[in-house]
Amino acid sequence: MRAYYFDNLPGDQRLLHDSGNHVEDKVLHSLGVRYWHIPIDAEGQYEKSVDAVAEERGYKNRDVITITKEGLGDLYESKLKSFYEEHMHEDEEIRYILDGSGFFDVREHPTDSWIRCHLGAGDLMVLPAGIYHRFTLDEKNVIKAMRLFKDEPKWIPYNRGAETDVNPYRAEYLQTIAVK
């Protein structure tokens, strides 16, 4: 994974948008973002490492999602647009990249700057409940990711707005990172 500040220039969201300003791991950690690189091997040993993270964090369920233009057909553009809307979840968002690559952008608090995280195969990222973020593919237009869940699989985005700003999960997130 590579993390840097988003350049905020107009253009295709799937481009790097690299400001040239690297983001240190400690900044991501202070925001509650966790990251592991677990190389994918032909023998499937990576599954043991992913299982260990899942057990440690209490994840009980998982599925695999593949996002491609061919796979989503006519829904491709609308899905990419919805993933790229700034939002939060009331649960952690956990993704282990099995193939392809993409970007998770997270809001830095209190600056409100975007931090762009470029993930590829073998990267596992955990975004805490309550953090504002968004997702997009990169120029390769393909990603295959394992999604992990503490309970039944669900993915409910709460788009940023006045109501979401006072959501209890958002408030708890802000209290948690203020302590760090």
Q: What is the CATH number of the domain that holds 6?
A: 2.60.120.10
Owning domain of residue 74: 2-179
The predicted structure's pLDDT at residue 151: 84
The pLDDT score that the predictor gives to residue 180 is 56
Number of domains observed in the structure of the chain: 1
Question: Mean pLDDT, consecutive 10-residue segments, the chain of 180 residues?
Answer: 97 97 97 97 93 95 94 93 96 96 97 98 98 97 95 86 97 89
Residue type for position 97: I
Is residue 102 helix, strand or coil?
Answer: strand
CA–CA separation, 3 and 103 (whole Å): 10
The β-bridge partners of 105 are 116, 134
pTM of the model: 0.95
Task: Specify whether the CB–CB gap between 70 and 122 falls below 8 A.
Answer: no
CA distance linking residue 153 with residue 162, whole number of Å: 27
Residue 5 to residue 25: CA distance in whole angstroms: 13
